[in-house]
Amino acid sequence: MLRPVILSAVLATLSGCVSVGSEFKAPQNNPGATYLHASKVDKANPARLPTQWWTVFGDATLDALEQRARLNNPGLKASAQRLLQAEAQLGSLSAAQFPNVSVGTSIGNSHTSRNTSQGIAFGRHTIDGNNYSLGAAMSYEIDLWGRVKHIVEAADAQALVAQDDHDGVQLLLSTQVATTYWQLRGMDAEMSILNRALATRLEAEQLIQARLDGGLSNELDVSRARMARADAQADYHEVQRQRNLLQHSLATLIGASPSAAVITASEQQDSLPEAPAIPVGLPATLLSQRPDLAASVATLRAANAQVGVAEGAFYPALSLTGNFGYASENLRELTQAGSRQFSIGPFALSLPIFDGGRNKANLKQAKARYEEAVANHEGKLLNALREVDDALSDSQQRQYQGEAQAQSQQAAARAYLVAQARYERGISNYLDVIDAQRSALSADRTAIQIKTQKLLASVAVARSLGAGWETRPAVATVR
């Protein structure tokens, strides 16, 4: 009776001295001191965005759309279910760290043949009666070398990957909603400009027609005026077509029917707000801000744990079973001392001797997967840094472009007024007016498009930084 206990104690002591695998250490990346296109203000201020990062735009309609998307988007719902699956898998594997105890009871009735060898031995008598039993059974794998610990650690890391992936889906969804919304608002502003241009050109066409009827103009000027009006009308319908596509896309993102009117006419605005300034901080903070980089680190941790699992296959595995209960022919005696029965063991010990190199190959594969994960992580970090610098460069150049376009817009508006005055005085023909009018309209539309792109660049900066994803405390390595 004492020998199994002594053996268990010795093996437990050995398990505390030897452990397979190695403790995971997060990679020490050195992404650089600063971003190439960051301003001095960006470098001085840490990147901080609220969890609901889109509120920095101060747009109530956008806020409502983002909330609807979080509640109703099918892709986000599917991501949440994948997270629940990963957490359930972790719970299932974590159970291997504890004994498996079960309780059972049985009732049976048996009748033996008197003509069997057993019946002949008992003088050709039959044996019949009831059998009642009540008991508990236990089984447990003693984690001598930490193999089970690393299995649980790998599952824990995979659950973190699922959580980070879910955060990434939320981030992608929120930026898609914001991008589509500002594109749609830009289209509304363009349509407003085209509406005014269409009204102006229709009025000009009627005026030229009246001048022709009065003998003060010619058929060529009327045709030119009519062509200018038709061009503006065609441009309006093209912008309306693009807006319809954006409307359908936005409705799908928030989990509504594509035919639903997500933004009604009363919510359309002729102007666009200024893009908010978003401080980017230092590149080193990306590791704690971006969900994809956090998931990459968790993947590294899982791969490191799998190396420990593969190493554990080279060492002995020990399992312990036991049971305790009562058995009796009748219920009255079931719980009496004489009905008690129990067993401890066996201690099942298995030691790999020859496997044809299987364990060695599995270990080599696990180490190669870890090195692959390291390389993938380095690539993702570089790509993240590139995305931030791309977004900063885009935002910076859009600002410069907008300032230059404002000058062009003013000059085009002035040129149109001069051309109109010269035509009315008979100094120039109507072709000059048409050209100036076309240039002014193009400058106005380009200004709106640049302003839209500045808003989209701000969204891109927020996305590249990880937006409002909240950093969770690091999970300690399972020991």
pLDDT, one tens digit per residue, over 78-125 is 888 888 888 888 887 777 777 888 888 888 777 777 777 776 777 777
Most confidently modeled of 190-204, 287-301, 327-341, 451-465? 451-465
Better-predicted residue by pLDDT, 430 or 256: 256
44 pLDDT band, cuts 50/70/90, is low
179 pLDDT band, cuts 50/70/90, is very high
Does the structure show a pLDDT above 50 at 213? Answer: yes
pTM above 0.85, yes or no: no
Closest C-alpha among 271, 362, 352 to residue 317: 352
Question: At 429, phi and psi to the nearest 5?
Answer: -90, 175
Q: Which helix (H) or strand (E) holds 323?
A: strand 317-328
* Dihedral Cα 107, 113, 119, 122, nearest 10 deg: 60
Residue type for position 318: L
Does the structure show a pLDDT above 80 at 298? Answer: yes
Q: Which long-range contacts (CB under 8 A, 24 or more apart) does 247-252 make?
A: 247/184, 249/180, 250/65, 250/177, 250/180, 250/181, 250/184
* Domains with residue ranges and CATH for the chain: 18-97+144-315+359-464 (1.20.1600.10), 105-142+317-350 (2.20.200.10)
Does the structure show a pLDDT above 80 at 293? Answer: yes
Residue type for position 88: A
Asked if the peptide bond before residue 258 counts as cis, ω within 30 degrees of 0, the response is: no
Tokens 């269409």 label which residue? 198
Region 310-326: what's the mean pLDDT?
80
Per-residue confidence (pLDDT) for residue 457, from 0 to 100: 92
**For residue 14, how many other CB atoms are within 10 A of its CB?**
13
Q: Which helix (H) or strand (E) holds 141?
A: strand 128-142
3-state secondary structure at position 327: strand
Q: What Cα–Cα distance (Å) separates residue 465 from each residue in 103, 181, 232?
A: 54, 20, 41
Mean pLDDT computed over every residue of the chain = 80
